[in-house]
């Protein structure tokens, strides 16, 4: 009897604990209304977020004069016609690259030796450069002529033709650099023209609208800097040649180049939603807003020393949103090249402009006034070099390169020069 009573009481408590049917219906209706409101409001809210992110990104890009992104993804047919000289430069570069007959094996040997000082080349390596330069004389003349006039950006269709020949162009650039390295010894004026031609093509590409043009331009600038370091270290190179090399330095800052890359990534159409965004109203707009927000983070990081490399670390929100590790890598590489270029500008100024031996105290003060480089947040310093020379070095940049890409080794990605040897006396110092 007691068991029966206990069961009855439990049943009554369970019935009392259940909400009335009316409350259940009200809850269902409320949820339906909330879902309907969300279905109507979320897309509008997401669309507003897209516009806010797009406006914020455009405002950041406008501060450096970065052109608005092309409405078409490939940019073909949207650029203004290039000046006649630029079109001629593109044609010379294309024809020269097509005419080259450098084999992959020869190209690899050229790449390896151009990352070393010409004084360290063996007789066999020197003979290889001489033989290849003689065999490829006509294509090299075309490539050199292209760089001599190619300071303005190529038209869209010309840029397309240049970029389709990236590998031959790089092989020709390495041979042009190697030939300049040999010529520094006996014909420095000729070497200076070849190096300036590399810089001219680099400038034309760095002002292009496609990311791959920026990347190729940065690579050519690196080769130019290697050759320029050889020229700076040679006390017998005339100051006029060094002054020409200083004038040939690409003028666009890494920040501007990065912003151009970002502008090329701005989506013209809504981004397709993935993951959880596919399950909510306005998912495509939310994905688009996230993409624009990640691009804005890149632009903001590009202005803070060392920040871009931190932003590109695996697992970060930017990489997970954009999935563009190669392009982020190219942006950071542009900052590394600019850190090297700062040393080049100082060294070339001392060798070509100063009419008397360098005042190290004045130079040290000048270096201390430089802002931290964007690549590593480091500043150049002066070390003692061989035979009374001095060296401009940026240890922080060298360390940052090693931390990201490993120790420089043959066959691996090589850093731009972060150490420049400047003779204590020479033609540029009034002796």
pLDDT in tens, 109-127: 999 999 899 999 999 999 9
pLDDT 10s digits, 246-290: 999 887 788 888 888 888 888 877 777 666 565 566 677 778 888
**Can you spell out the DSSP letters for 273-334?**
P-GGGGGSTTHHHHHHHHHHHHHHHHHHHTTSTTHHHHHTSTT-HHHHHH--HHHHHHHHHH
The whole-number pLDDT of residue 26 equals 57
- Rank 7-11, 402-406, 415-419 by mean pLDDT and report only the highest: 415-419
Residues 220, 172 contacting (CB under 8 angstroms): no
Residues 251, 233 contacting (CB under 8 angstroms): no
Distant-in-sequence, close-in-space partners of 70: CB < 8 Å, separation ≥ 6: 78, 209, 264, 268
For the four alpha carbons of 44, 45, 50 and 55, in that order, the dihedral sign comes to: positive
For residue 395, pLDDT beyond 50: yes
Residues in the chain: 431
For residue 72, pLDDT beyond 50: no
- Rank 13-17, 23-27, 178-182, 214-218 by mean pLDDT and report only the highest: 178-182
Q: Which of 331, 312, 334, 309 is nearest to 321 (CA)?
A: 312
The whole-number pLDDT of residue 239 equals 92
The whole-number pLDDT of residue 431 equals 37
CA 76 to chain centre: 22
Q: What is the pTM of this model?
A: 0.83
The whole-number pLDDT of residue 430 equals 39
Secondary structure of 73-123 in the HEC alphabet? CCCCCCCCCCCHHHHHHHHHHHHHHHHCCCCHHHHHHHHHHCCCCHHHCCH
Higher pLDDT, 316 or 65: 316
Both tokens of 211, joined, read: 């990311």
The whole-number pLDDT of residue 14 equals 53
Place of tokens 């020479």: 426
For residue 68, pLDDT beyond 80: no
3-class state of residue 382 by DSSP: strand
**Interval 30-47 mean pLDDT:** 57
Task: List, edge to edge, every strand of the sheet that includes 419-422.
Answer: 381-384, 390-393, 419-422
User: Cα(412)–Cα(390) distance, rounded to whole angstroms?
Assistant: 29
- Rank 15-19, 83-87, 272-276, 347-351 by mean pLDDT and report only the highest: 347-351
The whole-number pLDDT of residue 157 equals 81
User: Cα(239)–Cα(250) distance, rounded to whole angstroms?
Assistant: 19
For residue 73, pLDDT beyond 60: no
Of the pLDDT bands very low, low, confident and very high (cuts 50, 70, 90), residue 170 is: very high
User: Cα(176)–Cα(49) distance, rounded to whole angstroms?
Assistant: 50
Distant-in-sequence, close-in-space partners of 224: CB < 8 Å, separation ≥ 6: 177, 195, 198, 199, 202, 248
The whole-number pLDDT of residue 385 equals 73
The mean predicted confidence, pLDDT, of the chain is 81
Q: Which of 229, 394, 373, 216 is nearest to 308 (CA)?
A: 373
């Amino acid at each position: 009897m007691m068991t029966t009573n206990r069961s009855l009481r439990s049943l009554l408590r369970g019935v009392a604990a259940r909400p009335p049917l009316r409350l259940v219906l009200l809850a269902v209706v409320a949820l339906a209304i909330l879902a309907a409101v969300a279905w109507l409001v979320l897309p509008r809210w997401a669309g507003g977020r897209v516009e806010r992110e797009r406006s914020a990104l455009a405002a950041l890009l406008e501060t450096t004069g970065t052109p608005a992104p092309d409405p078409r993804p490939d940019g073909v047919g949207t650029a203004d016609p290039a000046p006649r000289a630029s079109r001629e430069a593109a044609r010379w570069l294309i024809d020269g690259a097509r005419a080259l007959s450098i084999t992959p094996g020869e190209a690899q040997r050229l790449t390896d030796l151009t990352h070393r000082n010409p004084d360290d080349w063996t007789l066999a390596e020197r003979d290889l450069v001489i033989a290849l330069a003689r065999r490829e004389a006509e294509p090299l003349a075309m490539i050199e002529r292209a760089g001599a006039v190619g300071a303005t950006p190529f038209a869209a269709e010309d840029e397309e033709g240049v970029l389709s020949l990236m590998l031959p162009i790089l092989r020709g650039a390495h041979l042009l650099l190697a030939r300049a390295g040999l010529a520094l010894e006996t014909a420095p004026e000729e070497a200076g023209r070849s190096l300036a031609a590399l810089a001219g093509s680099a400038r034309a590409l760095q002002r292009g609208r496609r990311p791959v043009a920026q990347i190729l331009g940065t690579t050519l600038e690196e080769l130019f800097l290697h050759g320029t370091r050889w020229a700076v270290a040679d006390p017998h190179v005339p100051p006029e040649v060094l002054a020409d090399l200083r004038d040939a330095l690409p003028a666009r800052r890494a920040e501007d180049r990065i912003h151009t890359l970002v502008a090329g990534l701005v989506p013209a159409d809504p981004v397709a939603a993935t993951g959880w965004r596919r399950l909510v109203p306005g998912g495509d707009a939310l994905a688009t807003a996230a993409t624009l927000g990640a691009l804005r983070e890149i632009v903001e990081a590009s202005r803070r020393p060392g920040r871009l490399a931190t932003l590109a670390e695996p697992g970060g929100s930017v990489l997970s949103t954009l999935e563009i590790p190669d392009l982020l890598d190219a942006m950071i590489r542009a900052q590394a090249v600019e850190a090297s270029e700062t040393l080049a500008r100082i060294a070339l100024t001392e060798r070509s402009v100063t009419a008397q031996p360098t005042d190290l105290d004045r130079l040290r003060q000048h270096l201390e006034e430089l802002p931290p480089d964007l690549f590593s947040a480091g500043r150049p310093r002066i070390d003692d070099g061989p035979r009374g020379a001095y060296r401009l070095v940026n240890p922080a940049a060298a360390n940052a390169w090693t931390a990201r890409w490993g120790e420089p080794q043959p066959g691996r990605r090589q850093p731009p020069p972060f150490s420049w040897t400047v003779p204590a006396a020479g033609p540029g110092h009034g002796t």
